[in-house]
Amino acid sequence: MTNDQGHLMIKTALHAGRIMIENGSEVARVEDTIRRIALNAGYPDSKVYVTITGIMMSISGEENAQIEPVTSRSIDLEKITQVNDLSRHFAAHKIDLAQFDDRLTHLDQHPRYFPVWLQLISAGLVSGTLEVVFRGNYPDFLVSCLIGLVGWGVFYGMSQLVRVRFLSEFLAATAIGILAILAVKFQLGTNADDIIIGSVMPLVPGVPLTNAVRDILAGDLVSGIARGMEALMSAIAIGSGIAMILQAM
């Protein structure tokens, strides 16, 4: 086992770990995947330290640990699944380390999102259906769909423009609040509260919230609390956007 092989293994494993954290995986899964990659590459004794802002890894008995910073975080469960699949292929010896690294680079550079129109329609449907499920208000179904769609459009557009998640959430919530109150004023809807509750649902920070709980339960306290703060910030951004409009109008 030459040292080059070890370097390639650490590079590939860190790359896989970074993609997983960037796209919203929980810390225990990342540790597990990195350790399996090391095991399958012939290093059963590796040391990994994962937080949601960076990963450190070394092989026991060899010098030079390596660090991989994680600077951006978004949500894309497809990428996590694909890294998982690649790791399985590697474990089954269908691909070797160099191919693994190539495919990770390819995966990182060519994300496969659902088309924007489908995302918009989905956001509308999430809003409408959950509004009815939570409040049982059938007459406002269509208005909620429409306002939820516009809200997600604002969120998506602002995310492309400024890349600060909290700001996009705040502006989307503000837009939703204004539109809901206007819709009731012009008699398109019956209850502004119900419309807002439904339309805000696509923005709910479900992934950070679930991961915060899972991380804390798994004992990754640092990441769990950081992730909880992320979810709390999103909730505050949405809540203050709505609160501002409710006070103003």
Query: Which residues of the shown chain bind other proteins in the complex (CB under 8 A)?
Result: 24-26, 29, 32, 35-36, 39-40, 75-82, 84-85, 88, 91, 112-114, 118-119, 121-123, 125-126, 129-130, 132-136, 152, 193, 196-197, 200-202, 204, 206-207, 210-211, 213-214, 217, 235, 239, 242-244, 246-247
What minimum distance in Å lies between the beta carbon of 215 and other proteins? 12
As a whole number of angstroms, the distance between CA 47 and CA 137 comes to 54
Tell me if 80 sits within 8 A of 25, measured CB to CB.
Answer: yes
Q: Which amino acid is at 74?
A: S
Output the smallest distance, CB 39 to other proteins, in A: 7
Nearest residue (CB) to other proteins, 12 versus 23: 23
Of residues 11 and 89, the one with the C-beta less far from other proteins: 89
For other proteins, the closer CB: 9 or 196:
196
Q: Please say which residue, 8 or 246, places its beta carbon nearer to other proteins.
A: 246
CB 204 within 8 A of CB 123: no
**Closest C-alpha to 89, from 103, 106, 77:** 103
What's the closest the beta carbon of residue 157 comes to other proteins, in angstroms? 15
| One-letter identity of residue 194 | D
Closest separation in Å from C-beta 166 to other proteins: 16
| CA dist., res. 106 & res. 147, Å (int) | 37
Residue placing its CB nearer to other proteins in the complex, 61 or 136: 136
- How far apart are alpha carbons 101 and 9 in whole angstroms? 9
How many angstroms separate the CA atoms of 150 and 80, rounded?
Answer: 28
